[in-house]
Amino acid sequence: MEQTLVLIKPDGVQRGLIGQIITRFERRGLKLCGMKFMQMSRDLASAHYEAHVGKDFYPGLVGYITSGPIVAMVWEGKDAIQIVRTTMGATNAGAAAPGTIRGDLAVEIGRNLVHGSDGPESAAREVSLFFSADELITWSRETDRWIRE
Find the part of the chain contacting ligand DAT (CB under 6 A) among 30-38, 66-74, 76-84, 107-115: 107-115
Beta bridge partners of 115: 7
Residue count (the chain): 149
Would the CA dihedral through 107, 123, 149, 144 be positive or negative?
Answer: negative
**Of residues 47 and 61, the one with the C-beta less far from ligand DAT:** 61
Q: How many residues bind ligand DAT (CB under 6 A)?
A: 9
Contact partner at residue 110 from ligand DAT, Mg ion, none, CB < 5 to 8 Å by partner kind: ligand DAT
Which positions from 24 through 53 interact with Mg ion, judged by CB under 5 A? none
**Of the residues 76, 105, 112, 127, which one makes contact with ligand DAT according to CB under 6 A:** 112
- Report in angstroms how near the CB of residue 135 gets to ligand DAT at its nearest: 23
Catalytic residues: 115
Q: Does 57 bind ligand DAT (CB under 6 A)?
A: yes
Q: What would the DSSP string read from start to end of 25-80?
A: HHHHT-EEEEEEEE---HHHHHHHTGGGTTSTTHHHHHHHHTSS-EEEEEEESTTH
- The answer to whether 122 touches 111, Cβ cutoff 8 Å, is no
**Of residues 76 and 126, the one with the C-beta less far from Mg ion:** 126
Give the whole-angstrom CA distance, residue 107 versus residue 74.
Answer: 25
Per residue in 113-147, is it b (16+ CB within 10 Å) or e — as a string? bbbbbbeeebbeebbeebbeeeeeeeeeeeeeeee
Q: Does 24 bind ligand DAT (CB under 6 A)?
A: no
- Report in angstroms how near the CB of residue 116 gets to Mg ion at its nearest: 7
List of residues contacting ligand DAT (CB under 6 A):
52, 57, 61, 91, 109-110, 112, 115, 118
Which residues contribute to the site for Mg ion (CB under 5 A)? 118
